[in-house]
Amino acid sequence: MSAPVIVATDLVKTYKQTAAVDGISFEVAPGESFGLLGPNGAGKSTTMRMVGAVSTRTSGHLSILGMDPDAHGPEIRSQLGVVPQQDNLDTELVVRDNLIVYGRYFGLPRSHVAQRADELLEFAQLADRKKAKIDDLSGGMKRRLTIARALINDPRILLLDEPTTGLDPQARHILWDRLFRLKEQGTTLVLTTHYMDEAEQLCDRLIVVDKGRIMAEGAPAALIREHSSREVLEVRFGSERNETAAADLAGIGERLEVLPDRVLVYAQDGEAALVEVTRRGLEPITSLVRRSSLEDVFLRLTGRSLIE
């Protein structure tokens, strides 16, 4: 395997007294799609800013493309594409000009940037909006433009901080499709998300982060195998009765998780578990059998839900 493009060892970032990132270690291989999954405030964005060579680490070792961000910030950043959590497109410029001024920051010639901007607007499905004002774009379009902007310098690593937060389902799927194509073409992706489906779709490997620490690491399927059962039966008895019903469910499946609005029964065979629930004379208002997901992994590891 070729040398990793990102190596982080015992990475720490402290603000005043609180540690936002508290000793995180990971490596990312070239061409890999790597994710940081965790709830808001877990330290994902802070980690991304350190990897993006804009935030100085408090301690630990960090190497991006073989360089130390403390000494070679501009050199590292010239090979990164960054999609921040909050769009920072220039609303005083039209769509195409946003790409052009940004491309110039990388020392690229004007003619090259102009040609590349047109190609990327095609890729981002914004070719017909090149003269549009930023404020007239939808949330999904702004995100796609930000991704196009991040690709203007042909980056070796694309950093995406919560790329689909705040988008409607259709816009999310368009975006995933574009990211998936990038991945297929070998671009190294590093993304943070608090959506488990996004992590499952896009990441080859991920770390589950909570309170600035790594809770687990691995491929999505392996993490699910390791920390959860194959299937989950979700039953709802009404918010008053979930607790008491849970007592009667004891022994069904491998494990129970009582949430305020439902009870989760972890089992190899969800349908069989549901049959047993009915046999015991319990009558859930609704029931659902599904595959285990990263949400279950997170719940298992932290006792909390990803989206709170």
Partner 1 sequence: MTSVIPPRAAVRADPAKSRRYGAWYVVEHKLRAVRAYFWTMLVTAFGTPFLYLFAFGVGLASLVVDSQGDEFVDGVGYLQFVAPALIVNAAVLVAAEEYMFGMLLGFKWNAIFIGMNSAPLTGRQIIDGMFLFVAIRAAFTAGIYFAAVALFGGVISPWSVLVVPIAMLTAFAFSPVAAWSATITEDRGQFNIVNRLIIMPLSLFSGTVFPLSQLPVFLQWIGWISPIWHGSELSRQFSYGPTEPIWLSVIHVLFLLALAIVGWRLTVHFSVKRLDR
Q: Rule CB under 8 A: which of 175-214 touch partner 1?
A: 181-182, 185, 187
Toward partner 1, which CB reaches closer, 145 or 223? 145
Strand order in the sheet with 6-15: 18-28, 6-15, 59-64
Nearest approach in angstroms of CB 265 to partner 1 is 43
Phi, psi for residue 103 in degrees, rounded to 5: -60, -35
Tell me: does residue 151 bind partner 1 (CB under 8 A): yes
What is the Cα–Cα distance from 300 to 308, expressed in whole angstroms? 15
- Cα–Cα distance between 37 and 94 in angstroms, integer? 34
Nearer to partner 1, 34 or 102 (CB): 102
14 versus 302: smaller Cβ distance to partner 1: 14
Nearest-approach distance from CB 43 to partner 1, in angstroms: 13
What is the C-alpha to C-alpha distance for residues 160 and 172, in angstroms, rounded to an integer?
14
Q: Read off the tokens for 108.
A: 């690229």
77 near partner 1, rule: CB under 8 A: yes
Taking the complex as a whole, the smallest distance from the CB of residue 167 to partner 1 amounts, in Å, to 20
2, 92, 281, 308: residue in contact with partner 1 (rule CB under 8 A): 92
Q: Enumerate the β-bridge partners of residue 257.
A: 264
Name which of residues 26 to 65 contact partner 1 (CB under 8 A).
Answer: 49, 52, 54-56
Please identify which residue in 23, 73, 139, 166 interacts with partner 1, judged by CB under 8 A. Answer: 73
H helix or E strand, kind and range, residue 216: strand 213-218
Tokens at residue 229, please?
Answer: 């059962």
d(C-alpha 230, C-alpha 225), whole Å? 7
CB 155, min distance to partner 1, A: 8
Q: Considering only residues 40, 109, 138, 291, which one is a binding residue for partner 1 as defined by CB under 8 A?
A: 109
Closer Cβ to partner 1, 133 or 304, answer by number: 133
Q: CA 273 to CA 235: how far, in whole Å?
A: 11
Residue 233: in which H helix or E strand, if any?
Answer: strand 231-236
Q: Where are the alpha helices (DSSP H) in the chain?
A: 44-51, 69-77, 95-104, 110-123, 139-150, 169-184, 196-202, 220-227, 242-249, 270-279, 294-302
Give the angle subtended at the CA of 46 by the CAs of 143 and 44, to the nearest 5°: 70
Q: To the nearest whole angstrom, how small is the minimum distance from the Cβ of residue 89 to partner 1?
A: 8
181 or 280: whose CB is closer to partner 1? 181
Smallest separation (angstroms) from partner 1 to the CB of 94: 8
CA torsion 138-140-143-148 (nearest 10°) is: -100
154 lies in the binding site for partner 1 (CB under 8 A)? yes
Q: Any contact of residue 74 with partner 1 (CB under 8 A)?
A: yes
Cβ neighbours of 24 (radius 10 Å):
24
Is position 108 an interface residue for partner 1 (rule: CB under 8 A)? yes
At closest approach, how far in Å is the CB of 219 from partner 1? Answer: 25
CB of 181 to partner 1, least distance (A): 6
Binding site for partner 1 (CB under 8 A): 49, 52, 54-56, 73-75, 77-80, 82, 84, 86, 88-93, 97, 100-102, 104-109, 112, 116, 119-120, 122-123, 125, 127, 149, 151, 153-154, 181-182, 185, 187
